Chain A
Amino acid sequence: MILNILHSLPQVLIDGLALGAIYAVVALGYTMVYGILELINFAHGEIFMTGAFVGTGVLFLFQSTGWLSGMPGWVAYVLILAIAMLFTGLLGVGIERIAYKPLRKAPKLISLISAIGVSFVVQDLVRFISELRTGNYIISGITLFDKNVTIGTSSLGSWLGDASLKTNTIIIIVVAVLLMISLDFFINRTKWGVAMRAVAQDRETASLMSINVNKIIILTFFIGSALGGATGVLFAQQYGTIDPFIGYILGLKAFTAAVLGGIGNIRGAMFGGLVIGLLEMFASSNLGLLTNGSFGSEYKDVFAFMILIIVLIFKPEGLFGKAVKEKV
C-alpha cells in the first residue's frame, strides 16, 4: 500500500501544487477583504468564476476574429489575464458599492445575507449570458498550451513513478507566485499598502491620519477581485471545462485555506492554499487505497470541510494568525 502511495507521489505533488497555487491566490482575496472589513466576501468565489468565463469568452472572441492564430500564445495569455483582471476588479468594486457599502454599519448578519445574495445573482447572470451566447452553460474553453512533459522521477528510485507535467501547470505556478510576490511587495513596501494595513488595524484612527478609508476599501476590493479573476483564467486554462457553479465549492476551499493560514494574514493564506491543495490531491488519489476502497475520491470535499471544522474548533486564529480578543 505504501509503495502504491509512493508510486503516485510525484504526480500528486505536482497536481497538488498547481491546485494549491490556485487556492492560495483565491484565498488572498478572502483574506484581504476580511482584513479590512471583517466581512467574509461570500461572492469572491463567484468573482473567480466570472474571471474564468471572461477569460474564456475573450479567447473565443480572439478566435472568431482570427487574431488568435496571428499572435503568439503567451501574448494571448497575458491579454486574457489582463482583461479578466480588469473586469473582475471592477466587478468587485461594483459589488462593494451596491451590496456592502450601504451595510457597513448594519449588523453582521445582514451584510452576510447580502453577500450570499450577490453570489447567487452573479452565478445566474453568468449562467444566463453564457447560455444565451452558446446554448449551454457548461463551457469547454480553448487551451493555449497543451504540451505534456514527462518528468523521469522514476530514475531517482524504482519505487517512484513518473509524473507528467503540463505546460499549463508550470504557468499556473509561475503566475501565481508572481501575483503573490507582487501583492506582498505592494502591501509591505508601498504607501498604499501601508494605508491598507492601517485601515485594517483601525478604520477610525486611520481616517484621522488623512487616509481616505473609502478609497482604500475600494482599492482592496479591486486588487482582491482582480487576483481572483486572474486565478479563474488560470483555472480555466488548466482544467478546460468551466460552469457557473465552480466558484462556490472552490471558494469554500479557498476560504478554508485562508482560515488555516489565519484569516487576515497574507502569507498565511498562501501557505494555507498550498497545504489544502496538496492535502486534497493526496486524499483524492489515496483515500480509496487507504480505506480499502470503501471511501473513494468523492469524499475529498468532505475531507476539506473536516479540515475547516477542525481548524476552527482547535485553532480558530489559524496557523499564523494572532488570536483576537473580543472587545466588550
Chain B
Amino acid sequence: MDKIKQALAQNSKMQALILVLLVSVTALSVYMTAKSVIAFLLLLASLLLLYYTSFSNKVKWIIGGVMLILVIPFASSGGPAYESYMEVATQSGIYIAMALGLNIVVGFAGLLDLGFVAFFAIGAYTYGIFSTAQANHFIPGDLFPISGSAFWLFIFVGGFMAALFGVILGLPVLRVKGDYLAIVTLGFGEMIRIIFNNLEKPVNITNGAKGISSIKPPNLFGFEFTHPHQFYFIVIAILAFVIFGVKRFEHSRMGRSWKAVRENEIAAQSMGVPLIRTKLTAFAVGASFSGMMGVVFAAKQTFIDPSSFTLLESITILVMVVLGGMGSVPGVILGAALITILNLQVLTEFTNWLNQLTLQGVVHIPFALSPSKMQRFIFGAILILFAVFRPNGLISVKNRRVNEKLIQERISSASVQKVNPQSGGIAQ
C-alpha cells in the first residue's frame, strides 16, 4: 500500500490520469442518472483529490476553476435533480465564505466568536429591507423598493455594514478576553436576533417575527437571477474573491499580526503589534465576508426572518472551522463543504430512506431519532471529538516554510553588491 502511495506521489501523470478518470466517470454518471447523490458527492470529492495532487498551485487553481465553472454545472444539468444539486453547491459556497470569515476571527486571531451569524443576518437584512417596501416605513418619500440591479452594489454595502457592526462589537471586546469574549459574542448574537425579532415598533424596521418577504432577485442588464443554478455563479464569483482575499491576508503583515496575537497577546504587543487595530480588523474582515453572503442569501431565499439566524447557525459555522482545522484555509473549505453537504443532502436522504423503511415495515425508527433532527448531537460530538483527539482538524495548518539557505544567499549576495561599490569608494 505504501509503495503504491509513494509511486503515486512521484508520478504526476498517473495522478492526472486518475483525476481525469474520476471526474469523467462521476460527471457522466451525474449527467446520465436522474438523481445520484453519491455520484455528485464523488464529483465534488475530485476537487479534494485535486488538492492532494502534486501539480503546481497555478495548475490546480486553473483545473479547479474549470471544474467549478464548467464541469460541475454542466454535469448536473442533465437530470431533473439539477436545481437541487445546484442548491447544495450554492449553499456550500455561502457557508464556505462564512467559515472562511470566522476562520479569520477564530483561527487566525484566536478570538472565539459565538455570535457570528449576526453578521450574516445584518447583511441579509440590509438587502432585505431596502429591496422591499419595508424601508418606506422609516424613510420618508416613496423611494423603495430599489431595483434588483442594485444587488451588485448591495453586496458591498452588506459587507460594509457587517464590517461596521464587527467593529462595534469589537470595541468592548478589546477589553475582554478568552472565555469572556465567547460569552459576550454569544450575548451579542442573541441581542441581534431579539432586536430583529421585535423591531416592528416604535418604528417598523424589520417587520418583526413575520420577516420580510418577496425580496427582489438580482438583476444584471435585464437578466433576472431566480434559480439556484444562476445564484451558483454569483456565489462562485464572490467566493473566488473571498478566497483570494484570505490567501493574501494570511501571509500579509496583518495576517502575521493576527497569528502573533493568537499565540501570545502580550509578547505580540511588546514586539510592536498594534493590538486594537489587529483585533478590530480581524472582526471587520471576518464579518464582511459573512455580510456579503448574507445579501446573496436574502436574494436567493427572497424571504428572511429571524429564525434563520439562531445560535445553532453560529455553532454550525464554528463546527466547520473546527472540523476543517482552525487557521487552515483549505481545511476550512473542506469542513464547510462537508458539513453543508451532510446537513442538506446526507442527513435528509438518510432520513427519507429510513422513513421509507419504516413505512415498508422493515425496521421501526422512532420519529425522535430521525437523523435530520440529530444535528445538534452530531455537531456537539464533532466538536468534542475534534477538540480532544484532533484539535488541528482534518487538514492542519502548514505554516509557510522559510527557505533559510535561499535567504542567506540573498543576503550575502546583496551585501556583496553593497560592499563592492563601498570598497570602491574607499579605494578612491
Q: A residues bordering B, Cβ < 8 Å?
A: 39-40, 42, 98-99, 102-103, 106, 108-114, 116-125, 127-128, 131-132, 135, 248-249, 252, 255, 259, 293-296, 298-299, 301-302, 305-306, 308-309, 312-313, 316, 326, 328
What are some 9 contacts across the A-B interface (CB < 8 A)? Answer: A102-B388, A109-B112, A109-B326, A110-B391, A113-B112, A116-B318, A117-B380, A302-B194, A308-B184
Q: Which of A42, A106, A252 contacts B187 (CB 8 A)?
A: A252
| Contact A109:B106 (CB < 8 A) given known A312-B180, A328-B266 | yes
Q: How far is the CA of A125 from the CA of B179 in the complex (A)?
A: 25
Taking the complex as formed, is B175 at the interface, i.e. its CB lies under 8 A from any CB of chain A? Answer: yes
Taking the complex as formed, is B183 at the interface, i.e. its CB lies under 8 A from any CB of chain A? Answer: yes
Q: How far is the CA of A135 from the CA of B186 in the complex (A)?
A: 31
Do the beta carbons of A301 and B194 come within 8 Å of each other? yes
Known A120-B315, A295-B198; 14 more pairs at CB < 8 Å: A40-B179, A109-B178, A112-B182, A113-B322, A113-B387, A116-B114, A117-B382, A118-B384, A121-B381, A125-B377, A128-B368, A299-B194, A302-B195, A316-B175
| Contact A305:B188 (CB < 8 A) given known A132-B369, A298-B197 | yes
Do the beta carbons of A255 and B183 come within 8 Å of each other? yes
Which chain B positions have C-beta within 8 A of A259?
180
| Contact A299:B198 (CB < 8 A) given known A39-B179, A119-B380 | yes
Which chain A positions have C-beta within 8 A of B385?
117
Which chain A positions have C-beta within 8 A of B198?
295-296, 298-299
Most-contacted residue by chain B among A108, A111, A116, A131 (CB, 10 A)? A116
Taking the complex as formed, is B240 at the interface, i.e. its CB lies under 8 A from any CB of chain A? Answer: no
Which chain B positions have C-beta within 8 A of A116?
114, 315, 318, 380, 383
Which chain B positions have C-beta within 8 A of A119?
380
| Contact A308:B179 (CB < 8 A) given known A120-B379, A299-B194, A301-B194 | no
Bitwise, B115-153 to A at CB < 8 A (1) or not (0) is 000000000000000000000000000000000000000
Do the beta carbons of B187 and A114 come within 8 Å of each other? no
Which chain B positions have C-beta within 8 A of A309?
172, 184, 187-188
Q: Which of B106, B184, B376, B386 contacts A124 (CB 8 A)?
A: B376
Do the beta carbons of A312 and B172 come within 8 Å of each other? yes
Q: How far is the CA of A259 from the CA of B202 in the complex (A)?
A: 32
| Contact A294:B178 (CB < 8 A) given known A113-B318, A118-B384, A252-B190 | no
The 10 closest A-B pairs by CB, nearest first: A117-B383, A120-B380, A121-B380, A294-B202, A114-B387, A305-B187, A131-B368, A124-B377, A117-B384, A124-B376
